[in-house]
A and B are shown apart, each in its own frame.
Chain A
Amino acid sequence: MEVALFVPCYVDQFYPRVGLATAEVLERFGVKVHFPEAQTCCGQPMTNSGFFDDARPLARKMLEVFADFEHVVCPSGSCTSMVRNHFQTLLPGEPRVDSLRARTFELCEFLHDVLKVAPKGRFPHKVGLHNSCHGLRELRLGSGSERLVAPFNKVRALLENLEGIELVQLSRDDDCCGFGGTFAVAEEAVSCAMGRDRIADHQRAGAEIITGADVSCLMHMEGLLRREKKPMRLMHVAEVLAEATA
């Protein structure tokens, strides 16, 4: 199977290790990974701020860059949701949109639903799982705490298989960390207050590591942690899986 990596712009620039871990995990399951170098950004920051006109050229660029791949895999629920849930409103009537939407997957859902694999390995740590909102509620990576449906969580399911891992019990399973794209800057006070509350929940639960399927949430919480010089570590799910299965 061949897969094109869709690496979010800020991951490419600030968190290359997450991109590499994503590729490693996929390769471990026999996938041939490509990285189309013309890619930049899916346009989410502009869309999130309401500047749909500024986002449109980026959405079109995405359609071109990933036109020829069977599967497109992204280590971010939020950026995947941008393609899957917002490209059609951004580019109404554009015939290539539906195809890209159907071919684009967030990493965990790709492993869980398409490859249907259960990563095996050791990760002897106490881990707090941050359920990022867009992955959870826009991609339905998990059932979420609001709806009354049979409980499931694809990210958790991948981690649970690892030997030695202890997924700590949070008091609020899926409260938002307050990143929210441009919200993090425009509503800085609320954003940081929300982030600190999430961190405190993980801390109380005894997590050494906070993991999640979206680097943006982790970047926000890491920023708070580093400023306050707290020892907790943040790792993307891809990094956890890559390390555990190495």
Chain B
Amino acid sequence: MTEHAENAAAFVANGERLQWHDKAVWFMRNKRDVARAAVPEWEALRALASQIKAHTISRLAGYLEQFEKNALAAGAQVHWARDAEEHNQIVHGLLEKHEVTRLVKSKSMLTEECHLNPYLEARGIEVVDTDLGERIVQFRKEPPSHIVMPAIHLKKEEIGVLFHEKLGTPEGLADPKALTEAARQHLREKFLAAQAGLTGVNFAIASTGGIVVCTNEGNADLGTSLSPLHIACMGVEKLVPGPQELAVFLRLLARSATGQPITTYTSHFHGPRPGTELHIVIVDHGRSKMLAREEYRSSLKCIRCGACMNTCPVYRHSGGHSYGVTVPGPIGSVLAPHIDPKKHASLPFASSLCGSCTDVCPVKIDLHHQLLAWRGELAAKGLVPLGKRVVSRVGGWVLARTWAYRFFGKLTRLFAPLLPSALLGPWGRQRDLPKMPRESFRAQWRKRAGPR
């Protein structure tokens, strides 16, 4: 079995949790449908957003330079990181320079992707994730299972047990409101003690040099308002040309992600507050490689809303952790092989190619076609199991010859029903074969003596 298939099988084995997870995630897809229905121009917005992103990534270098110039003029400092390692070094260097030992972070999938937390922790810095879901998975020492809802794989009872252990909440407490309040009190202390705040970036505006951070908990604002150092980390693809383009994405992001008309906090940072520093770290980490490849380029349009995960039946039935990457689901399965095709070779196959992701995507990334393109590339690279390769080659040979096809078809119809289901491989483990007819369609058609 491939890596994803193996992880997924373990997830599926717990039938009750599987049902619960599928419903919890589908609930978000449903909320998104309702929110979308309130915007009659939804499809026009999607098309516009897709075009804006296409335009922006086609002139990315120019927009990046424009952004840097304007961000500098606004008083921010800009750093460029080629990859995760450079990104982590830059962030650590800034913290070291400011003698920071206590850092609070708001949700940033980029820093997850770069594995920043362990890097800083190994260097003696306390890192506290302040997004509630992120804090939960941080306590559990596990990665997020979803990019918008990092702890969607956990039930409230499990969080109650965790908080009892970590925060001293009463045993058996599973009321979401009470648990959230406990986390709030705990995080308040961390916010007050922090010497620096790190945030992600949802959008960077080239024409103003401003950055926009969207959260539902206000944790980015608190983290950056209380400390004298704000570090904002962004991938190169986060750019939009100007504020008017930003407006299009703000209408799509929260509706697609959680079915909200807009995130509770949409915070704009144009330069640092007086007496503080704002550092923007711009990271490539494989993105310019993606930009160079036409068939995959459009995946750089992604605004990380997570809608493709919520709609994906495979994600819902296998859980975010089964993907083994920071960004799971359809978009993650398209992105991961760029970083390491061998390691993530199973991901483009972790899809029934149903295409729901493509239709739900607010920036119209042709996700299921990119998954298929990856399959072709991985097969050409020899990164798919040998058994599959042999079956395809032999099958192709047989099917290219009508006589061989008829012969093997007959053989299958005659002998497959005689096999015990144990010999039918993965098909037969839970499924019967069709009742085999004595004669094929073509044989019966001949007997029919032509059209009536």
Enumerate chain A interface residues (CB-CB to B < 8 A): 7, 9, 11-20, 23, 27, 32-35, 37-41, 43, 45-52, 54-55, 57-58, 61, 133-134, 136-138, 144-149, 172, 174-176, 178-195, 197, 219-220, 222-224, 226-227
- Is there a chain A Cβ closer than 8 Å to B244's Cβ? no
- Structural contact, B452 and A17, CB atoms closer than 8 A: no
User: Which residues of B sit under 8 angstroms from A38, Cβ to Cβ?
Assistant: 402
Q: Show 15 A/B contacts (Cβ-Cβ < 8 Å), sorted by A.
A: A12-B442, A15-B437, A20-B444, A37-B442, A39-B402, A49-B375, A58-B399, A133-B353, A148-B37, A178-B352, A184-B426, A186-B2, A193-B317, A222-B434, A227-B432
CB distance from B284 to the nearest CB of A (A): 28
**Would B440 and A16 count as touching, CB distance under 8 A?**
yes
List the A side residues contacting B359 at CB < 8 Å.
137, 144, 146-147
**Measured CA separation A37–B446 after assembly (Å):** 10
Q: Are A54 and B384 in contact (CB under 8 A)?
A: no
Task: List 17 extra interface pairs beyond A39-B402, A219-B434, CB under 8 A.
Answer: A13-B440, A16-B444, A43-B399, A45-B392, A50-B377, A51-B376, A52-B376, A58-B396, A133-B355, A138-B355, A145-B33, A186-B426, A189-B5, A190-B9, A223-B427, A223-B431, A223-B434
Known: A40-B405, A54-B392, A148-B37. A193 touches B354 (CB 8 A): no
**Contact indicator B388/A49 (Cβ below 8 Å):** yes
B430 touches A227 (CB 8 A): yes
**Nearest-neighbor residue (CB-CB) of A144 within chain B:** B359
* A50 and B311 within 8 A (CB): no
Q: Does B389 contact A (CB under 8 A)?
A: yes
Q: Which of B264-322 contact A (CB under 8 A)?
A: 311, 313-314, 317-318
Which B residues are in CB contact (< 8 Å) with A138?
355
Task: Tell me the nearest residue of chain B to A148, going by C-beta.
Answer: B42
Nearest Cβ on chain A to B196's Cβ, whole angstroms: 41
Given contacts A13-B409, A146-B356, contact A46 B392 (CB under 8 A): yes
CB neighbours (8 Å) of B313 from chain A are 175-176, 178, 194
**Cα separation A15 to B205 with both chains bound (whole Å):** 57
Once the chains bind, are A46 and B436 in contact (CB under 8 Å)?
A: no
CA distance A202 to B416 in the complex (A): 29
Residues in B1-58 with C-beta less than 8 Å from chain A: 2, 4-5, 8-9, 12-13, 18-19, 22, 26, 33, 36-37, 39-40, 42-43
B430 and A61 form a contact (CB under 8 A): no
Instruction: Report chain B residues within 8 Å CB of A180.
Output: 351-354
A186 x B355 contact (CB < 8 A): no
Answer whether residue B130 sits at the interface, using C-beta atoms and an 8 A cutoff. no
Give the chain B neighbours of A58 by CB distance below 8 A: 396, 399-400
User: Does B43 contact A147, Cβ atoms closer than 8 Å?
Assistant: yes
Which of B318, B378, B443, B451 has a CB less than 8 Å from the CB of A32? B451
Q: A186 and B388: CB pair below 8 A? A: yes
Q: What's the nearest-Cβ distance from chain A to residue B46, in Å?
A: 8
Take A146-B311, A224-B431 as given contacts and tell me if A191 and B33 are in contact as well, using a CB distance cutoff of 8 Å: no
A212 CB to nearest B CB, Å: 13
Q: Determine the distance from Cα of A27 to Cα of B405 in the docked complex, in whole angstroms.
A: 28
On chain B, which size bracket covers the interface? 35 or more
Complex contact B37–A16 (CB within 8 A): no
Q: Do B429 and A188 have beta carbons less than 8 Å apart?
A: yes
Cβ of B379 within 8 Å of any chain A Cβ, yes or no, is yes
Residue from the list A16, A133, A149, A222 in contact with B439, Cβ < 8 A: A16
- Tell which of B18, B353, B413 touches A13, judged by Cβ atoms closer than 8 Å: B413
Q: Nearest chain-B residue to A221 (Cβ)?
A: B431
Q: B376's contact among A17, A50, A178, A181, by CB below 8 Å, is which?
A: A50
Name B327-371 residues within 8 Å CB distance of A.
Answer: 348-356, 358-360
Q: Is B425 an interface residue (CB 8 A)?
A: yes
A239 to B392: give the CA distance in the assembly, Å: 31
Neighbour of B413 across the interface among A14, A18, A20, A226, CB < 8 A:
A14
Main secondary structure of the interface of B (DSSP, over half): helix
Instruction: List B contacts of A34 (CB < 8 A).
Output: 451
Q: Which residues of A contact B443 (CB under 8 A)?
A: 16
Contacts of B354 in A (CB 8 A): 133, 137, 176, 180
Q: How far is B409's CA from A47's CA once the two chains are assembled, in angstroms?
A: 20
- B445 contacts partner chain A, Cβ-Cβ < 8 Å: yes
B415 at the interface (CB under 8 A from A): no
* B residues whose Cβ falls under 8 Å from a Cβ of A: 2, 4-5, 8-9, 12-13, 18-19, 22, 26, 33, 36-37, 39-40, 42-43, 311, 313-314, 317-318, 348-356, 358-360, 372, 374-380, 384, 388-389, 392-393, 395-396, 399-402, 405, 409, 412-413, 425-427, 429-434, 436-437, 439-445, 448, 451-452
Asked whether A179 lies within 8 Å of B442 as measured between CB atoms, the reply is no
Q: Kindly list chain B residues whose C-beta atoms are within 8 Å of the C-beta of A148.
A: 36-37, 39-40, 42-43
Closest chain A residue to B353 by CB distance?
A180
Residues of B near A15 (CB, < 8 A) are 434, 437, 441
Chain A neighbourhood of B26, CB < 8 A: 172
CA–CA, A195 and B413, complex, Å:
24
Tell me which residues across on chain A come within 8 A of B19, comparing CB atoms: 197
Alpha-carbon distance A39/B409, docked complex (angstroms): 13
A69 to B439, CA, bound (A): 26
Q: A9-B405, A20-B441, A51-B379 are in contact. Are A185 and B427 (CB under 8 A)?
A: yes
B294 to chain A, nearest CB (A): 12
Q: Which of B40, B43, B317 contacts A194 (CB 8 A)?
A: B317
The complex places the Cα of A55 from the Cα of B392 at a distance, in Å, of: 9
- Looking at the assembled complex, report how far the CB atom of B451 sits from the nearest CB atom of chain A, in whole angstroms: 5
CA distance A175 to B315 in the complex (A): 12
The complex places the Cα of A143 from the Cα of B12 at a distance, in Å, of 31
Residue of B nearest to A55 (CB): B396
In the assembled complex, the CB of A178 is this many whole angstroms from the nearest CB of chain B, namely 6
Please, which residues of chain A bring their CB within 8 A of the CB of B440?
12-13, 16
> When the two chains form the complex, which single residue of B33, B36, B430 contacts A224, counting CB atoms closer than 8 Å?
B430
Bound together, the chains give a CA A37 to CA B406 distance in angstroms of: 10
Rounded to whole Å, the gap between the CB of A92 and the closest CB of chain B is 13
Contact B378 A50 (CB under 8 A): yes
Q: Are the C-beta atoms of B409 and A12 separated by less than 8 Å?
A: yes
Complex CA–CA separation, A227 to B434 (angstroms): 11
